[in-house]
Chain A
């Protein structure tokens, strides 16, 4: 079932930069879509348009069942962007709190979300007491806690070290497999896109546009990283990206 159809949207910033031109994309319930491309290809702009944080100059977004209301979008940024003075639990509470839920009422959802990202026992920890990877896990729990219609992620693992990144990628994949969430994931890493996504949307810069889309049928599991099929997909995406940019 189509959750969102994006019809030839364009975004030009007031300074004249054409961030996005004629981008069309359809996202189905339960999709895992990667928006892949070099800097300036408009992938973050497209994500912000989907989130409703920005409006297109042309084109339209059609949501199944109307545009998302407050709290129906889960967003994970490149930095964990937690409230530094609040505990992990309070940070995860925030989206529910903004919708008027008391801490007691939110408690079960908070605990479920923290457990989902492997952080049970860290409820009272403050961001500065957590590692970069754990902070990102709190950020992910905060995005999940309100059961959003779609989870938007903007290069969330780009600032992490490789071991942590792999662990979080594995866990995100398991989360997607188990919960059937719809995920749109922005990345500039071919390896990450190939490993995670079912659909890899390749974008090119100046102006930002969607070049092509590649489907993946790799099993969503950690062991996929070591299969020749994964290597072949990486090679295919690389070739497509090279010819698209050239």
Chain B
């Protein structure tokens, strides 16, 4: 960790706590950092379990997005027909606000876990798909000519040229999709609301809001943002390691 963001963060927290003390604003309006930490420590297992539930949805959605995104990217690279058939729908899915279609998805899918994963996948799918597609098309024409001259099959060209060339692009997309999968999972949990599988952090945020447990609500929010930061850091480390093994970056 580097010092400037740490110092700036601590300073902001101190100012925040100071302001809460100075103005005497009640905790159900603006809780100070100390109240938030206390709310978390009062029932850490409770919030951490909810976090785990949200993370399961997030990572399942990320895995589904990877499989779906990479296979569809290969499909549109391999066939002009597939490109014409798939690309507009992928873009349409990308620009549709998830909040607007989440109620439909949840109603149609029925099974709560699958519904949450479906929503998060809709949000997370596109960066992996589009950046992998760009990566698959990235080899220079000379290299494609070289493969042709040596009688390479399409499969060999994919395996030995296009897929390895797409790896850095895929990793960049994966990093973006990681954050989006979390956002998608949370949005879906918000929409799914009460009952059934509603055990994720978003549900805790809603619930705490209803019960005016604002410090706990903030604690859940903080956990969510820490999880997002951790996912981003983990995926970028994974990317660096993979590329370093190939002698890149």
Contact = CB atoms under 8 A, between A and B. Distances in A.
Given A85-B246, A85-B248, A128-B248, A70 B150 contact: yes
Contacts of B161: 83
Interface of B is mostly: helix
A77 interface: yes
B248 A81 contact: no
A53 B248 contact: no
A129 B151 CA distance: 29
Given A83-B161, A84-B248, A128-B248, A71 B146 contact: no
A51 interface: yes
Interface stretch (B3-11, B22-30, B58-66, B137-145): B137-145
B10 to A, nearest CB: 41
B154 interface: no
A167 B160 CA distance: 32
A98 B146 CA distance: 10
A interface, size bucket: 20 to 34
B142 A53 contact: no
Contacts of A83: 143, 160-161, 164
A75 B146 CA distance: 7
8 contacts: A53-B149, A69-B151, A85-B164, A85-B246, A94-B146, A94-B150, A126-B246, A146-B150
B152 A98 contact: yes
A53 B142 CA distance: 10
A70 B143 contact: no
Interface of B: 140, 142-143, 145-152, 156, 160-161, 164, 167, 246-248
Interface string A162-183: 0000000000000000000000
A100 to B, nearest CB: 10
A146 B156 CA distance: 18
A70 B156 CA distance: 14
A85 B143 CA distance: 14
Nearest to B157: A98
Nearest to A125: B247
Nearest to A126: B247
Contacts of A94: 146, 150, 160
A81 B141 CA distance: 9
Interface string A51-78: 1110000000000000001110101010
Contacts of B140: 79, 81
Contact of A98 (B142, B160, B248): B160
A51 B149 contact: yes
Interface in A93-107: 94-95, 97-99
B48 to A, nearest CB: 40
Nearest to A54: B145
A34 to B, nearest CB: 20
Contacts of B152: 98
Interface string A182-193: 000000000000
Contacts of A87: 247
Contacts of B151: 69-71, 98-99
Given A53-B145, A81-B140, A83-B164, A129 B247 contact: yes
Nearest to B164: A85
A57 B148 CA distance: 21
A84 B164 CA distance: 10
A37 to B, nearest CB: 21
Contact of B148 (A53, A81, A85, A146): A53
A48 to B, nearest CB: 8
A194 to B, nearest CB: 27
Contacts of A70: 149-151
A98 B161 CA distance: 11
Nearest to A72: B149
B167 to A, nearest CB: 8
A85 B161 CA distance: 10
B158 to A, nearest CB: 13
B9 to A, nearest CB: 37
A28 to B, nearest CB: 22
Nearest to A97: B160
Contacts of B142: 77, 79, 81
Given A79-B142, A85-B248, 12 more contacts: A53-B148, A69-B151, A73-B149, A75-B146, A81-B142, A83-B160, A83-B164, A94-B146, A94-B150, A98-B150, A99-B151, A128-B248
Nearest to A124: B247
Contacts of B143: 81, 83
Contacts of B150: 70-71, 94-95, 98-99, 146
